[in-house]
Structure 1
C-alpha cells in the first residue's frame, strides 16, 4: 500500500491511507474491531473523489468481496470507478476452467450451465458483470493487465499505473 501511495502521488493524486491505521483495537473484540474498520473504510470512501480498485482474482476466481463492495459503494455515490486486474483471463474462462475444472458447460436454451445446473456468466467481461458495469458506466475504466501465472499476480503494479493514467486523463479532461 505504501508503494501504491507513492505511485499515486507521482500522478498528482492524494491517496487515502488504510482505514485501520487510525484505529486502536485495544479493548475491542475481534468483531467490534472489524466493524470499526468497515465503518472507517466507508468514511474514507465518503471523503474520496473516486476509487482505484484492484479486482485481480483473490483467493478464488473473482475479485475480493470487500473490494467488490467498495466498488458498489462508490458507484452508488455516483463517483468514478477505476479498476484493474493483473489477469487477462476473462470471467467466463476462469469460471469454466478453474471453478468447473475444465468441464464443458451444457448449453440449455442458449444459456451455458455448469454440472451443478447453475448459469455460467458469459458476457465477455473481465469479472462479474456488475463490476465491469460499475467501472464503464461511472466514467471510469477497467484496465486489464497480463501478468504471467508464475509472476507476482497480486504485486505487479503495471496495470495499477495504467489505471492511474486513465484516472489522470479523466480528471484532466474535466478540469480543462
Structure 2
C-alpha cells in the first residue's frame, strides 16, 4: 500500500502556492507516495472568518491523521524561526507517532539567526546564558531551529535536511525538499 505524505509548510501563503504545492505533489507521486496538501480539499462555507479558519484547521488535522508521514518546510518564515502553523503540524504528527522529516532552505542555524536579529548585541549573563539586549536567553545548541523541532524529528528517526537557497528562492527552491523525499523513499524501501 502506498504511503501518504502530508506536506506541511508556509507554502500555502505564497502568491504561487498552487503551483509550488502542485510541483511538490508531482514529486511525491513520482517517488511512489500519495501527497496530502493543505488546500487540496474543499472548505465548507462559513458565516464568520473564525468559522472558516476553524474549518481549515479541522480539514488539515484530518489529513494529518490520515497521513503516514510528514515532510515539513521549516524554512524561517516571517522571522528567525519556522512558521508557527508548520511547527504545530510537526508536533501534531510527532504526537501521533508518525514519521517526521523536515527541511529548511536557510543554511544559517537558529543561534546565528537570533544573534543577527539582535544585531550581534549579545551578552553572557551570570547564569551562563547568552542573552539579547532585551534580557531573553537564546538557545545555543548547534541546531537548525528550536530544539523541540530538531529533537522531535531526530528522536523519531527522521532527518532534518539543510539547504542553502538564494534569498529570492527561499520558498520555491526544491533541492532540500527533493533530498527529504529521496531519504524518505529510501527509508520505506528498506
Maintained 8 Å contact 1:20/1:37: no
Alignment of 1:33-48 (within 5 A): 33-48=52-67
Q: How many residues end up aligned between the 2 structures?
A: 170
The structural deviation recorded for 1:107 is 4.1
Select the residue among 18, 25, 28 that pairs with 2:47: 28
Select the residue among 4, 13, 16 that pairs with 2:36: 16
Secondary structure of the structure 2 residue equivalent to 1:22:
coil
Distance 1:17 1:120 in 2: 33
- Equivalent position of 2:97 in the other structure: 78
Select the residue among 95, 104, 122 that pairs with 2:114: 95
The structural deviation recorded for 1:15 is 0.2
RMSD of the TM alignment (CA)? 1.3
Cα deviations across residues 134-175 of structure 1 (Å, max 9, x unaligned)?
1111111100001123x31111010000000111111112xx
Structure-2-length-normalised TM-score: 0.85
Structure-1-length-normalised TM-score: 0.92
Alignment of 1:1-176 (within 5 A): 1-19=21-39, 21-25=41-45, 27-98=46-117, 100-149=118-167, 151-173=168-190
Distance 1:106 1:80 in 2: 38
Change (3 A) 1:19 1:148: closer
Please list every run of 5 or more consecutive structure 2 residues that lacks an aligned counterpart in the other structure: 1-20
Distance 2:73 2:50 in 1: 25
